[in-house]
Amino acid sequence: MHELSIVTGVVEICEQHAAGRRVLAVTLAIGALSGVVPEALEFCFEAATKETLLEGARLEIDRIAATGFCSSCGVVSSIDTYFDPCPCCGAPALELRSGDEMRVKDLEVE
């Protein structure tokens, strides 16, 4: 489960930015194609935040839909995999526009 190491990294990032203040809430942006399982992050969060500035903090997850741009017809459309063809013209190579990100979006501190 690589989500535990991801949460550990999130805790480190948040503690650096909190500058010694207690963290009340963390919002993560997670793309549909990021390879990260949001439910696994939620499961690991409490254990990873014990005895840190984030202990007791609320974890919020914004799920980002995957979209791709078709250079053949110029349409941006929703996709489910990296290899989905364009739903409008059938072109095989869509340029990923969103959906592979995983980042700390917001941090609420005391």
What is the DSSP secondary structure assignment for residue 63, as one 8-state letter? Answer: E
Helices (H), 19-79: 38-49
What is the reported pTM?
0.86
15-71 confidence digits (pLDDT tens):
999 999 999 999 999 999 999 999 999 999 999 999 999 999 999 999 999 999 999
Put the strands of the sheet holding 23-31 in their side by side order. Answer: 58-64, 23-31, 102-109
What number of other Cβ atoms are within 10 A of residue 35's Cβ? 12
- The H-or-E segment that residue 12 falls in is helix 3-18
What number of other Cβ atoms are within 10 A of residue 64's Cβ? 19
**Where do the domains of the chain lie, and which CATH numbers do they carry?**
3-109 (3.30.2320.80)
